[in-house]
Structure 1
Amino acid sequence: MSTTPTLAPPPAGDGADAVDLRGFGYEPKLRRSIGSYASFAAGFSFVSILTTVFQLFAFGFSFGGPAFFWTWPLVFAGQFMVALNFAELAARYPLSGCIYQWSRRLSNATIGWFAGWVMIVAQIVTVAAAAIALQVVLPQIWSGFQLVGGDPALTSTSGATNAVVLGSVLIALTTLVNVSGVRLMAIVNSTGVTLEIIGVAAVVILLLFNVERGPGVVFDTGGLGSGLSYVGPFLVSALMAAYVVVGFDSAGELSEETRDPRHIAPRTILRALAASGIGGGLMLLVALMAAPSLTDGRLATEGLPYVLTSRLGQTGGRVLLVDVAIAVAVCTLAIQTAGSRMIFSMARDGVLPFSGALSKVNPRTGTPALPAIVVGVGAAAVLLVNIGQAALFTALTSVCIVLLYIAYALVTVPLLIRRGRGWPRSEGAGATERGGKLFSLGRFGIVVNAAAVLYGIGMILNLGWPRQEVYDPAGTHWYLHYFSLLFVGAALLAGALAYLRYRARVATLHPRLDFAAPVPAPVAAGETA
């Protein structure tokens, strides 16, 4: 049975956003200081194509050759189907910890709890994975950043140890920014994203002036097969794009800190993904066209940094690598911010350990500081695995993406079921804070939703399939071969044990809510809508 809360008239001094939030049963605690661009930046910096494409280009090329390029538009199309559904939900449920909040309202509180749990684990590991990317960049800018030993390769003992040092320093800095307040976080993130966008444009333009071959290179499989024999390598290489194109929902995570979230969040989710998809695709294309060689093996081991330094010279290449390092930093910041909001959202419902402390918001900064510290400490602990166990860390960071896709599916599958029952029933009554219509897929909702579900399930299977060449290329540890299944199983088992402790509290949460957005008060003369 669906319900539509009746909102009391706003107290003096309360804005429409605060009244809106009370309709969901929450008192406003977070500060609404994020505008449209900062909201876009949150999603764009989580995807962070400069960070992830630079970090993972070699992986995709090594398994699929130049034709691995086609995995990018395919994954982008699938994720855009997911994003369209998320945009529709963001307009109706503008709440922090959106994956948790959406899932529990569309299905029930138990499924929502597990969606939130899976997302927290994935975000903590993803913070570590993003921070470790500094090791791929900084030692190439200046050898002095290699503080431990002389070999910067992540697979070497000295490189792995140095990666932990650099990554830990970065996480400490991002934690400091996060606890200092949302305004500082938004300024740092927006500035970093602006520089990243400039960097992406510079990479594309500069490499276009140094092309070695035409765009037809994307049809070259690199001798890895043809026809049906290329399907296997192609599916493995698709993991590169799958690793990259996630996190666009971060704009939804910050809904309670965004002004006019019903209007802004849906649009910035889609814009962040669209900008990432277009920019990342262009980077892949021009890198393949400008690479000095496709057969000398360096593209499969050194990736994009090799292309930049060889084509633009050491100075030009290093300047762009500085921009990549900035992108790594803001990517780490954005993921940590999203993770802290997920913890805060679940804690205020009293369904996590130490919920009382985790749900507190610093009255001076307006930020949930303890959740940011928890994410930072957890990510730093995950980083330590990389010392002497680079293969294990690689497997761990790969599998965390499986968890993200599972969390997404715990939203899209219940949403598809609800659509079959007539969701959203209150469509005609809702409006954004500006009086406009809520973002809606209309009659295409079921088709788009079904496509998102099929894509998500297919990618979960592809990501989690136990492949030795991905999870245990050296063939030395059986548990690495099956690490995807083992890790996901362990995360769910740990979640089940934690859930038993809070099962009674979870059962009291309102499982469903067809919430009609309140029609805002008329804008006074002289004000801007």
Structure 2
Amino acid sequence: MMNNHVESASGDDAARLESLGYKSEFRRDMSLWANFALGFTYLSPVVGIYTVFGMALALGGPPMIWALLIAGAGQLLVALVFGEVVSQYPLAGGVYPWARRLYGRKWAWLTGWVYLMALFSTIAGVAYGAAPYIGSFLGFEPGVLSTVVCALGVLVLATMINFMGTKVLAQAAIIGFLAEIIGALVVGIYLIAFHKHQDLSVLFSTFGAEKDGSYLAAFCAASLIGVFQYYGFEACGDVAEEVPDPGRRIPKSMRRTIYIGGAAATFVCLALTLSVVDFAAVINGTHTDPVSSILTSAFGPVGAWAVIGVVLISFLSCVMSLQAAASRLVYAYARDRMIFCSSLLSKFSHEKFVPPYALLLSAVVPAAVVIGSMISTGALMKIIAFSSVGIYIAFQMVVFASVRARLKGWVPSGEYRLGKWGMLVNLGALAYGVVAILVIGWPRTPDVAWYDNWIVLLSAGLVIGAGLLYMVIAKPHLRSDAPYADAVNQVASQPCAARSIA
């Protein structure tokens, strides 16, 4: 009976995909649990917090933790918008096909382009951030060259896992999720129970992080920990063609990623903050790696080594999930002939049920970013900042397209709908995203050359400019006959009741 139900659902999903203009090629091997795990490991509480904690604490002191709550609330609104869109358009590639159906071909091209470049940068940033933990695990102090080598090693391993197919990806995502739980909750509980040096009052004390200026400026700089943490839920939709009953399951996975991932990230940040002995040393720059010190002090050399091993699994699973999302976007672009080398990048392996050349591109470009990071001071923070601003820009392009479609009469017809709250949620998500983009892009290092200080906004402008130039010259948006801008004119095809946004 169970097999008959699964086969029936698979047949319905294939028919629905065909009604949207595409033939089903992926295998729907990803369960609700695995889809949530993919989004969770992409969002990755351990990777997000362990990578940025030291920098955020140095910039804003303990109150930087409140940025996690602010960003979590804002990104939940975005996740609700995305859930409604993916429920109607459960297509591989996420933001690109959503923008295509809501707005049009040009808007979709630019949305996907910005998101793809930011994804490549995020993959590089996470791989780069793993290097210090690889050094601690193997017993060496990573320099610039060894950091690059370690990051490239992480990329190679993640790519090998992705090439094994959807089923292996789903299993690896669940293993990564379990590692995240151990790295976040178990370690956090132990730190609070046995290694707490501070009380909760420190969360309201800046410890001089504002120096001679306003604390608002310091908090905005430190808030990178929040904005970097809360994306990844969209990966649940990037693999929509690999999930049975995606219109119901993916919105649920997205919301769970925000709820559970955000709670875990805030908890591990709290545990680390309360375990810091000397905030002044971190803020004035004499103590640059508080996480490693906390773990070694709390667990001893052997225990810290084991914890770092678990943390490295989290880093690997995060890179793996990011690559999966990026490769599906590249494939979605290529099958619509919207990108260079489309005939190659749209090739699909019916043995492993993955797009192999799209996966390879999702390793090669991040590797180039990692190698290129050797020429910039403070490379990790800048990679992370650009990654975040690019992702947020792409997100807001989809949210804006959703607002525009609503104003033109779009009535969502998927299994998950926001009902009467739809426009309010959309506008709230748009307002939050615009503010977040300004916060992320604002220059933070006035003591360096102007181009290095403005590198985040310059990089974003360069990526958008390159995308526009390519669109004007190559006109990729005119190559495909795939459907576009049909949301407003599409008649609701399923008489399903509107669901709660909770």
TM-score over 0.5 (shorter chain): yes
Give the counterpart letter for 1:478 in structure 2: W
Say whether the 8 Å CA contact 2:128–2:380 is kept in structure 1: no
CA-CA distance at 1:380 after TM superposition: 0.8
Give the counterpart letter for 1:93 in structure 2: Y
CA-CA distance at 1:300 after TM superposition: 5.7
Q: Does 1:370 align with 2:352?
A: no
**What stretches of structure 2 of length at least 5 have no aligned partner?**
1-6, 497-502
Give aligned pairs, total.
Answer: 483
Say whether the 8 Å CA contact 1:200–1:279 is kept in structure 2: yes
Say whether the 8 Å CA contact 2:86–2:251 is kept in structure 1: yes
Relative to structure 1, the CA distance from residue 299 to residue 196 in structure 2 (aligned partners, 3 Å threshold; closer, same or farther) is farther
Counterpart Cα distance in 2 of 1:181 and 1:441: 34
CA-CA distance at 1:305 after TM superposition: 2.2
Give the counterpart letter for 1:106 in structure 2: L
**Cross-structure match for 2:3:** none
**Cross-structure match for 1:450:** 427
**Cross-structure match for 1:512:** 485
Give the counterpart letter for 2:428 in structure 1: A
**Cross-structure match for 1:202:** 186
Say whether the 8 Å CA contact 1:20–1:518 is kept in structure 2: no
Q: Does 1:242 align with 2:227?
A: yes
Q: Using the TM superposition, name which of 312-321 and 271-280 deviates more.
A: 312-321
Relative to structure 1, the CA distance from residue 18 to residue 67 in structure 2 (aligned partners, 3 Å threshold; closer, same or farther) is same
Relative to structure 1, the CA distance from residue 456 to residue 504 in structure 2 (aligned partners, 3 Å threshold; closer, same or farther) is closer
**Cross-structure match for 1:220:** 205
Q: Does 1:45 align with 2:17?
A: no
CA-CA distance at 1:173 after TM superposition: 1.5
**Cross-structure match for 1:139:** 135
Counterpart Cα distance in 2 of 1:46 and 1:299: 32
Give the counterpart letter for 1:173 in structure 2: L
CA-CA distance at 1:224 after TM superposition: 3.0
**Cross-structure match for 2:77:** 81
Counterpart selection for 1:183 from 155, 164, 167: 167
Say whether the 8 Å CA contact 1:54–1:305 is kept in structure 2: no
Give the counterpart letter for 2:158 in structure 1: T
CA-CA distance at 1:363 after TM superposition: 1.3
SS in 2 for 1:468: coil
CA-CA distance at 1:138 after TM superposition: 1.5
Q: Does 1:502 align with 2:475?
A: yes
Identity across matched positions, percent: 28
Q: Does 1:487 align with 2:464?
A: no
**Cross-structure match for 1:345:** 332
CA-CA distance at 1:136 after TM superposition: 1.9
Give the counterpart letter for 1:364 in structure 2: E
Say whether the 8 Å CA contact 1:61–1:300 is kept in structure 2: no
**Cross-structure match for 1:276:** 261
Counterpart selection for 1:399 from 386, 395, 398: 386
Counterpart Cα distance in 2 of 1:383 and 1:394: 13
Relative to structure 1, the CA distance from residue 87 to residue 504 in structure 2 (aligned partners, 3 Å threshold; closer, same or farther) is closer
CA-CA distance at 1:420 after TM superposition: 2.6
Counterpart selection for 2:309 from 318, 322, 342: 322
CA shift digits 1:82-106 (9 cap, x unpaired): 1111111121111111100111111
**Cross-structure match for 2:407:** 420
Counterpart Cα distance in 1 of 2:167 and 2:296: 36
Counterpart selection for 2:150 from 166, 174, 181: 166
Counterpart selection for 1:313 from 300, 309, 314: 300
Q: Does 1:384 align with 2:371?
A: yes
Counterpart selection for 1:109 from 80, 105, 116: 105
Counterpart Cα distance in 1 of 2:494 and 2:82: 20
SS in 1 for 2:223: helix
Counterpart Cα distance in 1 of 2:291 and 2:306: 14
Give the counterpart letter for 1:178 in structure 2: N
Counterpart Cα distance in 2 of 1:101 and 1:135: 35
Q: Using the TM superposition, name which of 400-409 and 203-212 deviates more.
A: 203-212
Q: Using the TM superposition, name which of 369-378 and 178-187 deviates more.
A: 178-187
Counterpart Cα distance in 2 of 1:322 and 1:23: 46
Relative to structure 1, the CA distance from residue 46 to residue 13 in structure 2 (aligned partners, 3 Å threshold; closer, same or farther) is closer
Counterpart Cα distance in 2 of 1:454 and 1:103: 18
Q: Using the TM superposition, name which of 263-272 and 389-398 deviates more.
A: 389-398
CA shift digits 1:336-377 (9 cap, x unpaired): 110000000011111111111111211111110110001101
Q: Does 1:333 align with 2:316?
A: no
Give the counterpart letter for 1:351 in structure 2: M
Q: Does 1:477 align with 2:464?
A: no
CA-CA distance at 1:467 after TM superposition: 2.8
**What stretches of structure 1 of length at least 5 have no aligned partner?**
1-10, 153-158, 431-437, 470-474, 521-529
Say whether the 8 Å CA contact 2:58–2:209 is kept in structure 1: no
Q: Normalized against structure 2, the TM-score is what?
A: 0.91
SS in 1 for 2:206: coil
SS in 2 for 1:224: coil
